[in-house]
Structure 1
């Protein structure tokens, strides 16, 4: 029996590693799997245009992906802004399917997209909770790649390959200072994600939103 166990372990070691499978949350055609949340009645503030997901003149709000919770994975978001006044965000770790914008803001975490604000509110930080380690974003009109890795409670954010945030999920964060900042408190290791339509000052375009599970 011992010899057989050792043989099985040896064969398992020789087997090729299973590659983590990337899957697309945005299919490039429509908003299948996504729901739009807004505090105002009227048209949704997102539309698909020539294979790209874009904010529109419709209502501001959140576009939430509801087909699965995401954890132990890297979320890859490729985006650009039409001008330097652009403001958006990728919300992560939303514990239950949100019914309002407030659910995403106060129960999840926003990974900010905003090139103009200070180091606590700029692209790649956990909004008002962590300070930027770098500001490596490209100018408006150019595509940026944001990679958000969820590893248990730890959140790692890279923008264009440069580390901006590495937060363990338990260290103290600054107290809430402004009314529009999120409520503090623990967040779950996995959750739903959402994209933000903050305003109509700039068009925010997303050509990829994908997820790759972490290798074990």
Structure 2
């Protein structure tokens, strides 16, 4: 009996130690307004919040914009759920600046879905994430991005799909969400959470 109790206590201790290394994610989107975010000038209802969801949609100008966090980060993990609603969805998560982005949806230049892949203006898509049979059409998906120094890793729906080291990533900066210019599109986000590392 003592051996069983010891084994149970040991297993609980191991599980507790493993969970201690998991970052504690905190909401950076409150689900009811854009408090904590820098709303683009002339928003035109491109970015609206209600009932726990961030609604992102193009307007007739198709100018596009970026919604940035007010806070800046160095090393962090961000997690968000997204639902590609309508049109040619070309969105993504910017990491510390406009230089490094994780694509969500159709690449404007390559005309195919590159969700989870890094986009850098000078290099375009230096590697491509393999999301075949992972990305869910017309359903909520969860993307998690970990950024440590110059390296970022992406998980889609719990599966690691890409790791990349960017020599040009900024040392510190905000996180941004993109509404790509030129497209007619709608995408929703919810449960946007972040932990500093």
- Using the size of structure 2 for normalisation, the TM-score is 0.74
Question: How big is the shift at 1:71?
Answer: 2.6
The 2-side partners of 1:158 and 1:210 are apart by 14
Structure 2 residue runs of 5 or longer lacking an equivalent are 1-16
Structure 1 residue runs of 5 or longer lacking an equivalent are 1-15, 95-103, 171-185
CA displacement 1:53-94 (0-9 Å, x = unmatched): 01134452111111x212322110110111362111111122
Determine if the alignment matches structure 1 residue 27 to structure 2 residue 27. Answer: no
The 2-side partners of 1:51 and 1:60 are apart by 23
Residues 177-188 of structure 1 correspond to what in structure 2 (within 5 A)? 186-188=168-170
2:69 pairs, out of 48, 56, 65, with 65
2:127 pairs, out of 127, 131, 134, with 131
SS at match of 2:88: coil
Determine if the alignment matches structure 1 residue 201 to structure 2 residue 184. Answer: yes
Residues 157/84 of structure 1: CA separation in 2 closer, same or farther (3 Å cut): farther
Residues 168/24 of structure 1: CA separation in 2 closer, same or farther (3 Å cut): same
1:76 pairs, out of 70, 76, 79, with 79
8 Å contact 1:120–1:132 — kept in the other structure? no
CA displacement 1:166-195 (0-9 Å, x = unmatched): 11223xxxxxxxxxxxxxxx2223321111
Aligned to 1:56: 57
The 2-side partners of 1:91 and 1:25 are apart by 15
8 Å contact 1:113–1:123 — kept in the other structure? yes
- Using the size of structure 1 for normalisation, the TM-score is 0.68
Determine if the alignment matches structure 1 residue 168 to structure 2 residue 168. Answer: no
SS at match of 2:169: coil
Aligned to 2:5: none
Residues 112/163 of structure 1: CA separation in 2 closer, same or farther (3 Å cut): same
Aligned to 1:109: 100
Aligned to 2:3: none
- Root-mean-square deviation (Å): 2.7
The 2-side partners of 1:123 and 1:22 are apart by 22
Question: How big is the shift at 1:18?
Answer: 7.8
